[in-house]
Amino acid sequence: MLNKKKIAIVGLGYVGLPLALAFSKKFKVLGFDINKRRVESLNNGLDFNKEFSYQSLRKNKNLRFSNLKDDLYEKNIYIITAPTPLKKNNLPDLNPLIEATKLVAKHMKKNSIVIIESTVYPGTTEEICVPIIEKYSKLKLNKSFFCGYSPERINPGDKKRTIYNITKVVSASNKSTLKRITTLYKSIIKAGVYPTNSIKVAEAAKVIENTQRDLNIAFVNELSFLFSKLNINTQEVLKAASTKWNFLNFQPGLVGGHCVSVDPYYLTYKSRKSGYNPKIILSGRKVNNAVSKFICDKAFKFMRKKLINIKNSKILIAGFTFKNDCSDIRNTKVIEVYKHLQKKVNKVDVYDPFVSKDYLFYKNKIHLNLNPKKNYYDGIFVCVDHSIFKKKGVKFFKNFLKKKSFIFDVKSIFKKKDIDLSL
Taking Cα atoms as reference points, which of 21, 10, 27, 11 lies closest to residue 184? Answer: 27
Provide mean pLDDT across the span 262-266.
96
Residues belonging to the active site: 259
From CA 353, how far away is CA 337, in angstroms rounded? 18
Between the two ends of the chain, the Cα-to-Cα distance in Å is 56
Provide mean pLDDT across the span 245-258.
94
Structural domain boundaries in the chain: 7-189, 221-422
From CA 216, how far away is CA 222, in angstroms rounded? 10
Tell me, yes or no, if the two domains 7-189 and 221-422 fold the same way: yes
Determine the pLDDT at residue 161: 84
What percent of the chain clears pLDDT 70, i.e. is strictly above it? 99
Q: What are phi and psi of 32, to 5 degrees?
A: -110, 140
Q: How confident is the model at residue 158 (pLDDT cuts 50, 70, 90)?
A: confident
Determine the pLDDT at residue 298: 98
Would you say residue 229 has pLDDT above 80?
yes
From CA 39, how far away is CA 299, in angstroms rounded? 43
Taking Cα atoms as reference points, which of 315, 396, 373, 382 lies closest to residue 352? Answer: 382
- Domain at 221-422, CATH homologous superfamily: NAD(P)-binding Rossmann-like Domain (3.40.50.720)
Would you say residue 51 has pLDDT above 90?
no
Determine the pLDDT at residue 143: 98
Predicted confidence (pLDDT) per residue in 132-144, tens digit: 999 999 999 999 9
From CA 28, how far away is CA 21, in angstroms rounded? 10
**Among the ranges given (57-61, 123-127, 304-308), the one the predictor scored with the smallest mean pLDDT:** 57-61
- State which H helix or E strand residue 59 sits in: none
Determine the pLDDT at residue 2: 46
Determine the pLDDT at residue 1: 43
Predicted confidence (pLDDT) per residue in 65-105, tens digit: 999 999 999 899 999 999 999 999 999 999 999 999 999 99
- Neighbour order of strands in the sheet with 347-351: 347-351, 314-318, 377-382, 401-409, 421-422
From CA 15, how far away is CA 9, in angstroms rounded? 10
From CA 309, how far away is CA 303, in angstroms rounded? 7
Determine the pLDDT at residue 55: 75
Q: Which CATH class is domain 7-189?
A: alpha beta
Contact predicate 349/279, CB 8 Å:
no
